[in-house]
């Protein structure tokens, strides 16, 4: 059997690899067939039926997303029969939908809305089913709002949570007219195993799953004269924000973003990248301390491998699914929460602002960060350390609301202190970035030399594979670290919680042994976070990733421990890594949770 | 050629010769047996009418070494109970069919997917199965059959939803292709046949393909077990030869006042009196004129029945039994039901029925599985033939 098949779509002959769907075959010749349930990150569902096309010789229409292309097929993607059917299918969806676009958060970025526009659905005559049904809106989670009246039952969310995340918080329940997307016992999202990662939000084609937004609260703080509003921006925001403002993926807009934030009225514009560097120092030393206890002191209680703790979706996942590994999680807080704790202590006193009158806002690529900021552990400053978390999408919306012409903004710089960062802080936004940043510092602490990689680029930990392993041989150590002489430091990097689950299972059953594991809840790391601009795809994530590594390579300072502001904060305030103040402000505890 | 109504006793005849028939059959080559099945013209009795011999051959041709044979005994169509009857009176024939299929395709494990409401059959079946396993040992066939209890949802009778439910997942139909003969239970090549289909294979093994072919008409060979219900003095289960006209059927089974027959249950067609003479019971084929596929339900309505109520009941059934995953079926069924109610109440003009007919056609063209695709059968045939009853 030949590897290629040749078919005709709308009269155009096209050859594709066997197994390619009609939908993807059409894409190669720039014919767009509309879809709703299809998402390139997910397995084929074939349930919305808007992608139906006509095949010569077949009476029934066939779903382009689910049908493999075959030799000799003659496909018509836009025949009268197809158009009529498609239009009726969209009409049916709208009849079951609380189609109130003007009051809907997804207005303007909604696939159902776009399709309704294309097919001029208008008053279609079908009976509106919404008043006849009971539906629930779950707005109890600090991260995610689930509105069943906006759901088209495409099951993208279910597949996302199941296939990519291995969480299974969302399921389909009931059948027929009652069929809906549900959770364990139909509990609100915040009471179940959901990690708040927002990957489902990123893939929901409608307004049925959206982030809980805090835009109005943030405006209120900005307008409140008595409040000093500081804002921090996560590493992955700067490489994606532009997409939400009409640019191509992969553009870095750090300077314009800073300028926009200042124009919005934030009193200080600071950088989470700074606390990313700080995380590296704390977490790196924690790793070294654990290695020392294990290898030198032969302490049987020390837990290895150590896993990163900067991804709150991952942390909650572990608390639910692998609570027996809670002590393996680094106690270091995420950069967002380190920032929050320092903002209302160190920074407040530095600039002479009462912490009580400070409002701390963060711009994150992430919905789980909203939840993290609300965790009871996150009041180290005596106040809620981070008051409001906005996603990249929310920031884009604020920029639009303010009438700012983003393109014409001149680049601006972060305020200081807590605005400076190294390249190591920047790459936190990509999968493998924390590992690379940590190795750049840890290796140098132990040996006094730079990591033995060309240009400090530790390429084995970079990439897109779901799980990557790399080891680095430590030799010629400084005397203090002689117990590490000849040790091969074994590391593992995983992104997407399903991959995380596999790694932890391997660790549990002993089939894998590592010293240090980096896990990011979202595919691609934070750059693919649940708060990033929609849509997402592997190509978009790749472009954001290249942008991040480009930003790193252009930085003068590439290593966290060389960030002068890091040096300064240890000198003035923290004194030493893992010291008393660090423990109070920068480290945290975890909570075991139910498995459902 | 039109056949006279003939009652037969092929399927239910209690024959105690399973071992001899199996020995005789298994002595022949796989190719010969499959050719016989194809020559016999046997088509699946589960509703879709796929040629059985061809199905077995497709599964046999797949090189995989793990394969399954499943007897579909989910029988969820309202008013149908023929498979129950077959399984309680002649289960040995069904098992023999499965054994031969297993040898041909190379399967070691078969299942009977039994409708949940048929639990009471289990003790009896288990005895028959354990005897059957002894027989398998005597015949040196490494083949076992287990009973799998159905989930209780109508949609789980659809083959791919059935596999999903057996795999412990939600019973939702899959995309096709791939078809079960290559990608069935656990993703392995699987033959899935209706209870009655398997029982027929036994008759073919025993009497040869010609005897079977002699019955019925072109494209519809052999006999078929029907569940006759509704306005009939003699409801029950009957084995009849294919190829009769509906008129002959009604003459025999009706109460003298039949105005319509629903052939094939909720997913079948409604035939009005004026078309009885021209309608032949059989599978769709070019030469048989207006012919109808049927899983076996024949429901007769006399002139006291409101066809509006009949249709509404069917639609109620679909609104509830749709698995809900695909748009045309999940929403379409609701719109059809609410639509005819609105017309009846005068809230929508009678012309709205035409919009609904178009919708039913779209459902036929675009729904993911046989359930949604076949709603149009009853809907359109009832609305077109009894339009006034829908309005007034
Ligand atoms: C909604 C739906 C329900 C079905 N229910 C049954 C059933 O209860 N029993 C059955 O044998 N086939 C049923 N079928 C047909 C099966 O999918 C399949 O075609 C059949 O089991 C194949 O067997 P056959 O080739 O022997 O007919 C159903 C199909 C659909 C679409
Ligand atoms: S989900 Fe989309 S179509 Fe529905 S109301 Fe919101 S914007 Fe409109
Ligand atoms: S936020 Fe993440 S874990 Fe929660 S339901 Fe969505 S995909 Fe699943
Ligand atoms: S919540 Fe969104 S993604 Fe999930 S089924 Fe509904 S519309 Fe699809
Ligand atoms: S046609 Fe109906 S039963 Fe079949 S897959 Fe679609 S919704 Fe489910
Ligand atoms: S996109 Fe193909 S069926 Fe939904």
Encode pLDDT of A500-533 as tens digits: 999 999 999 999 999 999 999 999 999 999 999 9
pLDDT of residue B162 exceeding 70, the answer is yes
Pick the closest to residue A445 from A319, A578, A259 (CA basis). Answer: A578
CB < 8 Å to A45, chain B: 325
CATH says B216-302 is which class? Answer: alpha beta
Could A155 and B325 be called an inter-chain contact, meaning their C-beta atoms sit closer than 8 Å?
yes
**Structure tokens that stand for B343 in this block:** 């017309």
- Which of A23, A175, A180 to substitute to test the interface with B, most B CBs within 10 Å? A175
Residue B287 has pLDDT above 60, yes or no: no
Distance (Å) from the alpha carbon of B233 to chain A's nearest alpha carbon: 35
Q: Measured between CB atoms, which of A93, A175, A177 is closest to B327?
A: A93
CB contact under 8 A, B326 and A126: no
The reported pLDDT for the residue numbered B3 is 55
Instruction: Determine, for residues B355 and A125 on separate chains, whether the beta-carbon distance falls below 8 Å.
Output: yes
Nearest CA distance, A62 vs chain B (angstrom): 7
Confidence bin at B288 (pLDDT 50/70/90)? very low
Report the residue from B175, B326, B359 with minimal CB separation from A44: B175
**Ligand 5 pocket mutation, candidates B173, B315, B335, criterion most atoms within 8 A of CB:** B173
Q: Do A177 and B175 touch (CB under 8 A)?
A: no
DSSP B54-95: HHHHHHHHS--S--EEEEEE---STT--HHHHHHHH-HHHHH
Q: Cβ of B365 and A59 within 8 Å?
A: yes
For residue A421, give the 3-state DSSP assignment. Answer: coil
Structure tokens at B319: 């609104």
List, in sequence order, every residue forming a beta bridge with B269; answer none if it has no partner.
B263
| 3-class secondary-structure state, position B223 | strand
pTM for this prediction: 0.96
Distance CA A43, CA A585 (A): 43
Domain residue extents for chain B:
18-213, 216-302, 307-391
Average pLDDT, integer, range B26-34: 97
Contact B3, B216 (CB under 8 A): yes
Active-site positions of A read: 283, 286, 310, 330, 369, 372, 377, 526
Per the listing, tokens 């027989």 go with B135
Contact A343 CB / ligand 4 (< 6 Å): no
The set of residues, in sequence order, having a beta carbon less than 8 Å from that of A352 and lying 6+ positions away, is: none
Q: How far apart are CA A224 and CA A228, in angstroms?
A: 8
pLDDT more than 90, % of chain B? 86
Closest Cα in chain A, distance from residue B339 (Å): 7
Mutate to test the pocket of ligand 3, among A138, A144, A183, A200 (most ligand atoms within 8 A of CB): A200
Residue B281 neighbours by CB under 8 Å, 6+ apart: B220, B224, B240, B242, B243, B244, B245, B246, B249, B263, B291, B292, B294
Residue B282: predicted pLDDT: 85
Give phi and psi for B167, each to the nearest 5. Answer: -85, 5
Report how far ligand 1's centroid is from the alpha carbon of A580 (Å): 70
Whether B53 shows a pLDDT value over 70: the answer reads: yes
- Determine the average pLDDT of the residues in B60-65: 97
| Ligand nearest, relative to CA of residue B330 | 5
What's the CATH architecture for B307-391? Up-down Bundle (1.20)
Nearest to A172 among B170, B175, B362 (CB): B170
Nearest listed ligand to the Cα of residue A194? 3
* Predicted pLDDT at A263: 98
Is the per-residue pLDDT at B286 higher than 50? no
> Are A49 and B334 a contacting pair at CB < 8 A?
no
Q: What is the 3-state secondary structure (H, E, C) of A311-371?
A: CHHHHHHHHHHCHHHHHHECCECCHHHHHHHHHHHHHHHHHCCCHHHEEEEEEECCCHHHH
- Please state, in angstroms and as integers, the Cα–Cα distance from residue B273 to each residue in A289, B162, B251, B257, following that order: 89, 37, 11, 10
| Among the bound ligands, the one closest to the CA of A189 | 3
Number of inter-chain CB pairs under 8 A, A vs B: 114
Complete DSSP assignment for A258-314:
HHHHHHHT-SEEEEHHHHHHHHHHHHHHHHHHHHHHHHTS--TT---SEE----HHH
Which pLDDT band holds residue B290 (cuts at 50, 70, 90)?
low
> What residue ranges line ligand 3, CB within 6 angstroms?
A 144, 160-161, 165, 167, 169-170, 194-200
Rounded to an integer, the average pLDDT of B168-179 is 96
Contact status, residue A6 vs residue A14, Cβ threshold 8 Å: yes
Rounded alpha-carbon distances, angstroms, from residue A284 to A33, A291, A411, B154, B229 = 49, 11, 33, 58, 78
Please give the pLDDT value at position A507.
98
Of B175, B331, B352, the CB nearest to A93: B331
Positions of CATH 3.30.70.20 in chain A: 125-211
Q: Does B365 touch chain A (CB under 8 A)?
A: yes
CATH 3.30.70.20 applies to domain A125-211: yes
Q: Rounded to 5 degrees, what are φ and ψ at B57?
A: -65, -40
Which stretches of chain A drop beneath a pLDDT of 50?
none
Helix, strand or coil, per DSSP, at residue A51 = coil
The strand pair at A180-182 and A171-173 is best described as: antiparallel
Task: Give which of A33, A399, A107, A389 is closest to A246, Cα–Cα.
Answer: A399
Q: Return d(Cα B212, Cα B10) in angstroms, integer.
A: 10
Mutate to test the interface with B, among A48, A88, A124, A132 (most CBs of B within 10 A): A88
According to the model, what pLDDT value does residue A2 have?
Answer: 83
Q: List CB contacts (< 8 A) between B156 and chain A.
A: none
Higher pLDDT, B9 or A155: A155
The pocket around ligand 5, CB under 6 angstroms, is made up of B 155, 173, 322-326, 329-330, 367-369, 371-372
CATH architecture of the domain with residue range A215-274+336-408: 3-Layer(aba) Sandwich (3.40)
The nearest CA of chain B is from the CA of A375 a distance in Å of 35
CATH number of A280-331+421-595: 3.40.950.10
For residue A177, give the nearest of B155, B319, B342 by CB distance: B319
Q: What sign results for the dihedral spanned by CA atoms A218, A224, A227, A230? A: positive
Q: Is B367 on the interface with A (CB under 8 A)?
A: yes
Q: Which residue of B has its CA nearest to A87?
A: B362
Averaged over B162-190, what is the pLDDT? Answer: 97
* CATH 3.30.565.10, domain B18-213, yes or no: no
Residues A14 and A29: beta-carbon distance below 8 Å: yes
Whether cis (ω within 30° of 0) applies to the bond prior to B211 is: no
Instruction: Give the pLDDT confidence score for residue B156 in this predicted structure.
Output: 96
Q: Report CB contact under 8 Å: A179, B330.
A: yes
Q: What is the CA radius of gyration of chain B?
A: 21
pLDDT at position B293 over 90: no
Pairwise CB contact (< 8 Å): A172 & B332:
no
Contact state of A125 with B352 under an 8 Å Cβ cutoff: yes
Smallest CA–CA distance from A132 into chain B, residue: B338
pLDDT digits 0-9 by tens, B323-375 = 999 999 999 999 999 999 999 999 999 999 999 999 999 999 999 999 999 99
Residue A490, sorted as left (phi over 0), alpha (psi -120 to 50) or beta, turns out to be beta
* CB A179 within 8 Å of CB A172: yes
Closest ligand to the CA of B224: 1
**How many Å apart are CA B291 and CA B273, to the nearest integer?**
15
Give the pocket of ligand 2 (CB within 6 Å).
A 97, 99-101, 104, 106-107, 110, 112-113, 150, 206-207
A139/B186 Cα distance (integer angstroms):
39
Chain B residue numbers touching A155 (CB-CB < 8 A): 325
- Give the tens place of pLDDT for each residue, B300-324: 999 999 999 999 999 999 999 999 9
Q: Please, which residues bridge with residue B68 across strands?
A: B109, B190
- CATH architecture assignment, domain A4-78: Roll (3.10)
Contact check, Cβ <8 Å, A176/B326: no
Distance CA B164, CA B180 (A): 12
DSSP codes joined into one string, A501-527:
HHHHHHHHTTS---SEEEEESSTTSGG
Round to whole Å and give the CA distance between A24 and A9: 11
């Amino acid at each position: 059997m030949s590897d290629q098949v040749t078919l005709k779509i709308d009269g155009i002959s096209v050859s594709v690899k066997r197994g390619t769907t009609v939908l993807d075959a059409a894409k190669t010749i720039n014919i767009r067939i509309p879809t709703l349930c299809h998402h390139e990150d997910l397995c084929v569902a074939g349930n919305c039926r808007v992608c139906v096309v006509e095949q010569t010789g077949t009476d029934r229409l066939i779903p382009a997303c689910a049908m493999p292309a075959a030799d000799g097929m003659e496909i018509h993607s836009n025949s009268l029969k197809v158009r009529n059917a498609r239009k009726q299918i969209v009409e049916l969806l709208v009849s079951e939908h609380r189609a109130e676009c003007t009051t809907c958060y997804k207005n303007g970025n909604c696939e159902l809305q776009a399709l309704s526009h294309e097919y001029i659905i208008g008053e279609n005559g079908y009976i509106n089913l919404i008043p006849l049904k009971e539906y629930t809106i779950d707005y109890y989670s600090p991260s995610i709002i689930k509105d069943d009246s906006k759901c088209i039952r495409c099951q993208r969310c279910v597949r996302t949570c199941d296939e990519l995340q291995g969480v299974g918080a969302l399921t389909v329940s009931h059948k027929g007219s009652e069929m809906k997307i549900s959770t364990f016992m139909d509990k609100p999202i915040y009471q179940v195993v959901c990690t708040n990662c927002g990957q489902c939000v990123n893939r929901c084609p409608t307004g049925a799953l959206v982030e809980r937004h805090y835009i109005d609260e943030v405006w209120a703080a900005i307008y409140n004269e008595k409040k000093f509003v500081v804002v921090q921006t996560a590493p992955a925001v700067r490489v994606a924000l532009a997409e939400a403002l009409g640019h191509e993926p992969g553009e870095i807009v750090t300077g314009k973003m800073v300028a926009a934030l200042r124009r919005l009225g934030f009193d200080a514009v600071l950088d989470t990248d700074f606390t990313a560097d700080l995380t590296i120092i704390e977490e790196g030393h924690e790793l070294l301390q654990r290695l020392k206890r294990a290898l030198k002191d032969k302490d049987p209680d020390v837990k290895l491998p150590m896993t990163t703790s900067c991804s709150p979706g991952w942390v909650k996942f572990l608390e639910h699914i692998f609570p027996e590994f809670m002590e393996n999680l680094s106690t270091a807080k995420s950069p967002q929460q380190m920032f929050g704790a320092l903002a209302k202590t160190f920074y407040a006193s530095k600039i002479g602002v009462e912490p009580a009158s400070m409002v701390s806002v963060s711009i994150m690529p992430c919905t789980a960060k909203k939840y993290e900021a609300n965790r009871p552990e996150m009041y180290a400053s005596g106040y809620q350390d981070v008051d409001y978390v906005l996603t990249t999408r929310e920031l884009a919306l604020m920029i639009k609301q303010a009438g700012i012409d983003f393109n014409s903004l001149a680049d601006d710089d972060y305020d200081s202190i807590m605005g400076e960062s190294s390249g190591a802080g920047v790459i936190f936004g990509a999968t493998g970035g924390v590992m690379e940043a940590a190795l750049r510092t840890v290796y140098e602490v132990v040996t006094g030399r730079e990591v033995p990689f060309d240009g400090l680029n530790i390429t084995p930990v970079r990439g897109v594979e779901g799980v990557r392993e790399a080891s680095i041989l430590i030799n010629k150590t400084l005397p203090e670290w002689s117990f590490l002489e000849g040790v091969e430091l074994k590391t593992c990097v995983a992104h997407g919680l399903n991959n995380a689950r596999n790694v932890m299972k391997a660790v549990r059953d002993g089939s894998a042994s590592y010293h240090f594991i980096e896990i990011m809840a979202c595919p691609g790391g934070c750059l693919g976070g649940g708060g990033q601009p929609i849509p997402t795809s592997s190509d978009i994530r790749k472009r954001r990733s290249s942008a991040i590594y480009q930003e790193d390579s252009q930085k003068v300072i590439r290593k966290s421990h060389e960030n002068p502001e890091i040096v300064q904060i240890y000198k003035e305030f923290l004194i030493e890594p893992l010291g008393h103040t660090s423990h109070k402000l920068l480290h945290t505890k975890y909570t075991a949770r139910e498995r459902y | 050629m039109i056949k006279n109504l003939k009652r037969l006793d092929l399927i239910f005849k209690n024959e105690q010769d399973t071992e001899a028939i199996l020995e005789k059959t298994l002595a022949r080559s796989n190719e010969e047996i499959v050719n016989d099945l194809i020559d016999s013209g046997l088509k699946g009795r589960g509703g879709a009418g796929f040629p059985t011999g061809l199905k077995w051959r497709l599964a046999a041709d797949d090189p995989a070494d793990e394969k399954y044979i499943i007897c579909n005994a989910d029988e969820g169509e309202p008013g149908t109970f023929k498979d129950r009857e077959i399984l309680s009176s002649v289960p040995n024939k069904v098992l023999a069919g499965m054994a031969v299929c297993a040898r041909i395709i190379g399967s070691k494990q078969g299942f009977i997917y039994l409708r949940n409401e048929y639990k009471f059959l289990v003790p009896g079946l288990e005895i028959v199965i354990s005897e059957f396993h002894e027989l398998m040992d005597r015949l040196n066939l490494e083949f076992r059959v287990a009973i799998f209890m159905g989930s209780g949802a109508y949609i789980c009778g659809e083959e791919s939803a059935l596999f999903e439910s057996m795999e412990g997942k939600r019973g939702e139909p899959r995309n096709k292709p791939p078809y079960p003969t290559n990608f069935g239970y656990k993703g392995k090549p699987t033959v899935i046949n209706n209870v009655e289909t398997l029982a027929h294979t036994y008759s073919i093994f025993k009497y040869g393909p010609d005897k079977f072919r002699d019955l019925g008409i072109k494209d519809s060979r052999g006999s078929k077990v029907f569940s006759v219900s509704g306005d009939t003095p003699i409801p029950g289960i009957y084995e009849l030869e294919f190829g009769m006209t509906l008129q002959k059927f009604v003459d025999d089974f009706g109460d003298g006042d039949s105005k319509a027959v629903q052939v094939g249950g909720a997913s079948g067609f409604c035939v009005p009196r004026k078309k009885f003479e021209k309608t032949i019971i059989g599978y769709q084929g070019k030469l048989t004129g207006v012919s109808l596929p049927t899983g076996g339900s024949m429901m007769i309505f006399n002139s006291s029945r409101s066809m509006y109520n009949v249709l509404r009941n069917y639609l109620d059934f679909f609104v509830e039994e749709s698995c809900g995953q695909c748009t045309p079926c999940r929403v379409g069924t609701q719109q059809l039901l609410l639509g005819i109610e609105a017309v009846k109440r005068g809230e929508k003009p009678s012309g709205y029925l035409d919009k609904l007919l178009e919708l039913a056609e779209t459902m036929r063209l675009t729904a993911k599985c046989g359930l949604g695709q076949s709603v149009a059968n009853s809907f359109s045939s009832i609305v077109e033939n009894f339009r006034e009853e829908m309005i007034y």
